Amino acid sequence: MSKISIINDEISDQFNVVINFLNQHELKYVELRSFNKINIADCDLSQLKKYKQVLKRNKIKVSAIAAPLLKWLPKKHQEIGVKGKFDNFYFTKGDSIDFEKVFQIADLFETKYIRIFSYLKYKGFRLNDLSADLEVLINLARKYNKILVIENEPVCNIDTLEKLERCKKKYKSERLKILFDPGNLYKQGLRVDYQVLDRLLNDIAMVHVKDYSFEEQQYKVLGEGDINYKKLFGVLKNNKDLFYSLETHTQGERIVNSAQAVKKIKEIINTQRVKYGIIGCGRVLKKHIAAIKADKNSELIGVFDIDKKRMYQTAVQYDCENFASVNDLINSVDIVNICTPHNTHADLICKVLKSGKKCLAEKPGSLIRNDYKKIVRNIKHQDDLFVVFQNRFNDPVLELEEILGKLNFGKLIYVYGNIRWFRPKSYYKNSWQGKKHLEGGILFNQGIHLLDLLIRRFKSKGNVKVLNALKGKFLHKKIQTEDFFISQFVQGGCTYNFEVNVSLSPSNLETKLLLVFTNGRIEIGGLAFNKYIAYSLEGENYKEIYSQAPNYDVYGFGHKELIKKLSQYYLTGKKDPNLVNYQEAFKRIELIINLYEQAKETNT
């Protein structure tokens, strides 16, 4: 069972408020740093005994004494002074502190851990500089049967994992352990080196937990920053004995922020998660990462891209690993997300399926009929391979299926659909988009989302008869594919009419799906089939408006729900009907191939 603690003055300066908070949130450990704006090292022992009795009555134990030991300049460097401000939590004595008193305080509160630092930063620091004071502290630790935990602190000389490792190698005492603070690394623009962390894992006694925003350059409530704590805790869980101690360090209401942090840390520690890796660091990558981050059962492990610079930048930005090869990524995760050019999907899918891992491929999943044959040779494709059709999780699309299932609209006689978006010329510049052998065409890239909704209306029997298919270039004359496609076809006695267009300058306009029945009609629309649903049925009119993403975001919100459902399937075996397997996806691909084979090209 993981041990969760929190630093008392991160909640309140008032001890009774702290106790109420700990009880309310069922926390059994607290780390002590200051009381009523007096540092614990400066507190009178008689007053501390009263606090001890309160803790005892409430069955709360002390995880550590967050002492300020060695958070000062040594005497021979004191003339240098300290650059910039730093928080010493009301401690003013500096090196005149009574070391032994701190150990007596730890004894009083029956905790074995005492935090220490490595002097405030100064030029020319060497690990030997710590020897004299460390020898005294280690001897006291033996005397009182305590453990010193040295923290990586930005204003101190030991501020990284690597320096902590060097310190442990030099001072091999069993009385010296590590207090690892990831947030302090990120504040310095650094990241966790997982190779070093793995070597140090058994020497870490405590972890201070706070989040950090790279963009805002400030500490954030856990879960609102950029630190990939789900991945980090996945590694740290291999050390069964360490304390996770919250140090929220945020602006604003301390109690509210601390409560939010407690809820989040419990969720991260206690929730089973699926490990994701992403191949391809292009345009759609951020949607997959945002979805993985948002879902409590999902965890981003790392990325791979043939563009090494872009891969490294992505790994730094999203706090994950950058893998040396596709195989390394596949071997490290549970589910592989393929976000690469369309022509690469089939080979990557086959590689993932062969490894025994599950795969989520961005649409289309393949481009040609021979790809289908390669993929379905692996019998696991039915259960282990899914293709992204995120719009199925949009509220209007979900409500459409619900309404059609309970109301009698009669026979479907006509279907109209459109995607009217805008892609600037820069979208195609130095890109695989617009290249026939890489993208396949506008129907494979944008139109497939509309065709997915059309095909769901197909009758079980009846072939598609194409009446007309026209493609061309309104705006993007230099691309190999097309920027509009218009077609009409008949299936199962119903006429279908659709338009896909990405030349709607200057910005995205709309999407629409209109179903006309013998008894009424129903339509959905918005930027990505995500804004509204409306129907008229035998005199009854209905309309529902939903929130939607900004105009520039044609991906919508659906990836988050898709990832959530996929992780649930991995963990429970329960498959959501809107998870699209490859067999279903290929019906869309087959229709697209059929339409292209019969399309006429027009000069505009």
| pLDDT per residue as tens digits for the range 192-232 | 999 999 999 999 999 999 999 999 999 999 999 999 999 99
- pLDDT at residue 81 is higher than 60: no
Residue type, position 549, single letter: A
- pLDDT at residue 550 is higher than 70: no
Question: What are phi and psi for residue 114, nearest 5 degrees?
Answer: -130, 125
Residue, of 306 and 460, whose pLDDT is higher? 306
Strand arrangement, sheet containing 510-517: 540-545, 532-537, 520-526, 510-517, 412-420, 494-501, 484-491, 465-472, 600-602
Per-residue pLDDT, 83: 54
A 10 A CB-CB count for 434 gives 24
Pairwise CA distance, residues 431 & 440, whole Å = 13
Q: Tokens 């396949």 identify what position?
A: 440
- pLDDT at residue 552 is higher than 70: no
**CA atoms within 13 A of residue 280's CA, in its CB half-sphere:** 21
Per-residue pLDDT, 551: 53
CATH architecture entry for 275-388: 3-Layer(aba) Sandwich (3.40)
- Return the H-helix or E-strand segment holding 261: helix 254-270
Confidence of residue 94 (pLDDT cuts 50, 70, 90): low
Burial (0-12, 13-18, 19+ Cβ within 10 Å), 406: exposed
Question: Domain extents for the chain?
Answer: 3-270, 275-388, 392-555+577-602
Q: Fold for domain 3-270?
A: TIM Barrel (3.20.20)
Task: Please identify, in words, the CATH class of the domain defined by 392-555+577-602.
Answer: alpha beta
The model's pLDDT over 511-528, given as tens digits with 9 standing for 90+, comes to 999 999 999 999 999 999
Pairwise CA distance, residues 291 & 49, whole Å = 49
Confidence of residue 76 (pLDDT cuts 50, 70, 90): confident
- pLDDT at residue 604 is higher than 70: no
Residue 405, Cα to own-chain centre: how many angstroms? Answer: 35
* Mean pLDDT to the nearest integer, 406-426: 96
Per-residue pLDDT, 1: 67
Whole-model pTM: value is 0.91
- With residues binned 3-state (H G I as helix, E B as strand, rest as coil), the percentages for the chain, rounded to 5, are 40, 25, 35
Confidence of residue 2 (pLDDT cuts 50, 70, 90): confident
Per-residue pLDDT, 337: 98
* Mean pLDDT to the nearest integer, 59-81: 85
Confidence of residue 603 (pLDDT cuts 50, 70, 90): confident
Per-residue pLDDT, 89: 60
* Mean pLDDT to the nearest integer, 275-279: 98
User: Is 404 within 8 Å of 568 (Cβ atoms)?
Assistant: no
What percentage of the chain carries pLDDT values higher than 90? 90
* Mean pLDDT to the nearest integer, 569-576: 97
Per-residue pLDDT, 97: 84
Angle at 156 between CA 153 and CA 161, to 5 degrees: 50
Pairwise CA distance, residues 378 & 391, whole Å = 28
Per-residue pLDDT, 461: 82
Say which residues have a Cβ less than 8 Å from residue 580's Cβ, sequence separation at least 6: 386, 387, 388, 389, 392, 452
DSSP classification of residue 581: E
DSSP sequence for 397-452: HHHHHHHHHHS----EEEEEEEEE-B--HHHHTTSSTT-HHHH--HIIIIIHHHHH
Of the candidates 440, 509, 436, 502, the one whose C-alpha atom is nearest the C-alpha of residue 475 is 502
User: Is 317 within 8 Å of 377 (Cβ atoms)?
Assistant: no
Confidence of residue 88 (pLDDT cuts 50, 70, 90): low
Per-residue pLDDT, 91: 65
The pair of three-digit structure tokens given for residue 218, joined into one six-digit string: 């400030």
Per-residue pLDDT, 538: 85
C-alpha distances out from residue 51 to 15, 56, 109, 144, Å: 8, 9, 9, 21
